[in-house]
Amino acid sequence: MAIEQGYRAGATRALRQHDTPVLLPGSSVQNSLFAASYGRIGVGRGHGFCTRAHTENPLKVWKMQIAIFYQGRKQDTSEVAFHLTRMLQQQSYEVRTIDIRDEGQETRDTSLKGCALAVVLGGDGTILHAARLCSFANIPIVGVNFGRVGFLTELEPDELESKLAYYLQKDPSVWVDTRSMLHAALHQDGRQEEFLALNDIVIARGTWPRVVKIQITIDEFAYSTSYADGIILSTATGSTAYNMAVGGPLLHPQVQSSVLTPIAPHLASDRSLVLQPEATVKLQIFTGSQNGVFSADGQMNREIVDGATVIVRKSQYVTQFLRRRPPTYFYQIIDAKLKGDDS
């Protein structure tokens, strides 16, 4: 502790002289998290505020801002979010904690601007929610797996304290895994709604077990008419989700293409189709006497009427994950999951 305090005193003197951040030396990667601070760290109160350093000195010290997303309904992620926030604050980071229960599914959160990194505590569902918010602000994500599957996560909870420093300090072993997203425009009853999705866009029948008719147009070409329970348009990321469950092909996450897959088609010849990355797909659903369902990422859901139209194209936004695992880890996790190993 005395050594650490000596480092901090020296760093403070250097800041007064040069007005530049000073990285404190340490005996391990984790110790390198301790950065020089000037003034005292304020503790944020309540939901949705970054904690900031307060000082009367006019010198401006750059401090990395970190966002922590967690699922407040789950005690384990809430507790980890609390302890992680305290740890980062003590290491001179500004921290904003976001309970995704309180965040709108489709709205942009402008207060995330300026955050350099987002740590997301949860399963793939929590990451999907956080990914849409982070994409607007171009914030990379480190996912910590508190869920069952964990296709999108990077770390396990017991790795968080020892390995987070690699991502915070931009270690050379860290690379950016960029994922394509989809933009969907839903047209019905003279209104339009827009959605952003990392996994998939789905239109399907309602509660009655009757097939619906879906007219598919690709780049203004009338491709086909499908009679099925519904249809999925998924990204490469989403190919391991609902698309895989209904027998669709798996795409490597770095593939920019999307895949169109029918759900329980009436004809066996109605197969999946992998599309070129810039394709624009128009789906019009005819539900007869019942209403249908529209879903983006399985989280933003709408009831849709007979004749509703959805136009889907590649989004201008992307999701960025920070990785240390090699790109070939995708094959390892797919092999494990297909064998029923949830570890």
Write the DSSP string, 90-131. Answer: HTT-EEEEEEGGGS-SS---GGGTTEEEEEEEE-HHHHHHHH
Say how many residues make up the chain. 343
CB pairs under 8 A, 24+ apart, for 133-138?
133/69, 133/98, 133/103, 133/108, 133/109, 134/67, 134/319, 134/320, 135/181, 135/196, 135/198, 135/315, 135/317, 135/318, 135/319, 136/108, 136/109, 136/112, 136/317, 137/108, 137/109, 137/112, 137/113, 138/320
Q: What are phi and psi of 126, to 5 degrees?
A: -65, -40
Considering the candidates 19, 76, 124, 189, report the single residue annotated as catalytic. 124
What is the token pair recorded at 36?
Answer: 């020089």
| Three-class secondary structure assignment of 193-255 | EEEEECCEEEEECCCCCCCEEEEEEECCEEEEEEEECEEEEECCHHHHCHHHHCCCCCCCCCC
Query: Taking a C-beta distance cutoff of 8 angstroms, is the pair 146, 74 a contact?
Result: yes
Neighbours of 325 (CB within 10 A): 14
**Is 81 in a helix, a strand, or coil?**
helix
Query: Taking a C-beta distance cutoff of 8 angstroms, is the pair 155, 163 a contact?
Result: yes
Write the DSSP string, 4-34. Answer: HHHHHHHHHHHHHHH----BPP-SSTTGGG-
Is 306 marked active-site?
no
Catalytic residues: 124
